[in-house]
Structure 1
């Protein structure tokens, strides 16, 4: 700082000396006092040193300007890095928020699925209980049926059922269409170790000893059932 002040004072002195010389050159120079002459001679002697200092000062200014440009460039690069880091951090925050939202959504869906699975498990348990109850009922019904069938001992049941359609289509005759059925039920068995017997019940008209067919289309006729064989 002191050096700069000194250079400024020297520049001001040089400028003042040159202006004074220019003003006095067109006219006849008066007699120069000894003091002014000594100052001019001193200024003339200091001019080379002043030029050197000015050159050095200029070089310093150029170096400072270059350093300032480098510093600005470094600051810009640093600012860009900071902005890039901020953008990356913001993206990470956004990704983290999205991940948290997705996790919350998945958690709610898992809770719903867990609830549905609980309902399904409960329904399955109820269904298994019902199946067990039905199986128990079937076993009990089977035992009951077995007990009832055992009451018949060695008796055996059999039978048959037949349905037949008989149309009568003749020229100059009344058309007849009969629907006939035959149903028979047989019961046979060993009454004792030496006595075997049975009975057959069949449908049909009691007046017809040949066929056990029962005509369904005979209106106002009783549908009788009789013993076919004993």
Structure 2
């Protein structure tokens, strides 16, 4: 399989910066009560109904937090260097290498999926395919939590921490992402946007969308 350029660029970028990234964002959820609450709500929705995948898990921070809440969760990431950090820090959890656009998972095999700032490197033209893949692996009524930065521009990170790599970070409008999710077969449950936190070095608002696979029992979309 020939990989798209953005997948190669994403893997190369995170393979290079993994250790520096891990130190910079070692425990970024500790000072983010809203994010912890949203992940907690997701954990409660999924309950003990089956496996959850943290798609684009990076160093496993969100994976570990969900696991601490009793979720049967595992992580998938494109970068082996990021996964090496995740496995070192969370040896009790399962992490595997893979692309979110071509998941090595059976149809309908997941009770839930989290994309925690992991869709931000996917070009807009590839988002329908990405969300279709998320939909494919979720069982009827399965839950999805998607986090991303709000905006319309693309920001390019060039030579972070002195590494000779570059990568584009795409910002999105929540209403447009909601439309794409619905086109892929999801029912939108909620959309939360919070202001940026300057002390955390953020330069724009952050969005968190809950959605549910829409082929479940009638009325399931009302029971988020």
Higher helix share: 1
Q: TM-score range by the shorter chain?
A: under 0.3
Give the alignment's TM-score, normalised by structure 2.
0.15
Give the alignment's TM-score, normalised by structure 1.
0.15
Higher strand share: 2
Tell which structure's C-alpha radius of gyration is larger.
1
Bigger relative contact order (CA 8 A; separation at least 6): 2
